[in-house]
Amino acid sequence: MDKTEEIRNYLQENSVTYKEVDHDIAPTCELSAELRGESIEIGGKTLLFKDKKGFRLFVISAALQVDSNKVRKILGSQRLRFATEDELMSKCSVVKGALPPFGRPLQDFDLYIDESIFQNEMIAFNAGILTKSFIIKIEDYKKLVKPIICNFSKD
């Protein structure tokens, strides 16, 4: 089963109403928002970080940037880097820009969510591929994920 189908099934199994949007290839948050016809603020930018303890997922509003120093403090880690494109493919079966904002049970990672995500009524995200997005209510998203909520956006 591909990542998109896995997400769709997960949403349906949990009785989550969603909007599925097909669009041209969108490798950036800005282009994804434009092609979806939605505000960039509701976009969920998902990043996979690696430190000495392993990989962790971080989700932030696509309108913001991640403060790596804040992430290091949250993780208690001196060294931190983004996952490589090869690691994204081997660990998550996605290309850069297509990583969905879900940890367990869909992806075996701890999930950290910036509080900026919860300032919107909806969250939009690429669905494991660069040509499809899902949009769901933030209340439904909260019920699906068991995140560590923190602040790691640049001031």
pTM: 0.95
Structural domain count of the chain: 1
Q: How many helices (H) and strands (E) does the chain have?
A: 5, 8
Residue 155 lies in a domain: no
- DSSP symbols for 81-137: EEPPHHHHHHHHS--TT---S--TTTSSSEEEEEGGGGGSSEEEEE-SSTTEEEEEE
The CATH number assigned to the domain holding 13 equals 3.90.960.10
State residue 155's pLDDT score: 87
Residue 108 lies in a domain: yes
| Positions of the chain with pLDDT under 70 | 1
Please give the residue range of the domain that contains residue 31: 3-150
State residue 55's pLDDT score: 97
Residue 15 lies in a domain: yes
Residue 34 lies in a domain: yes
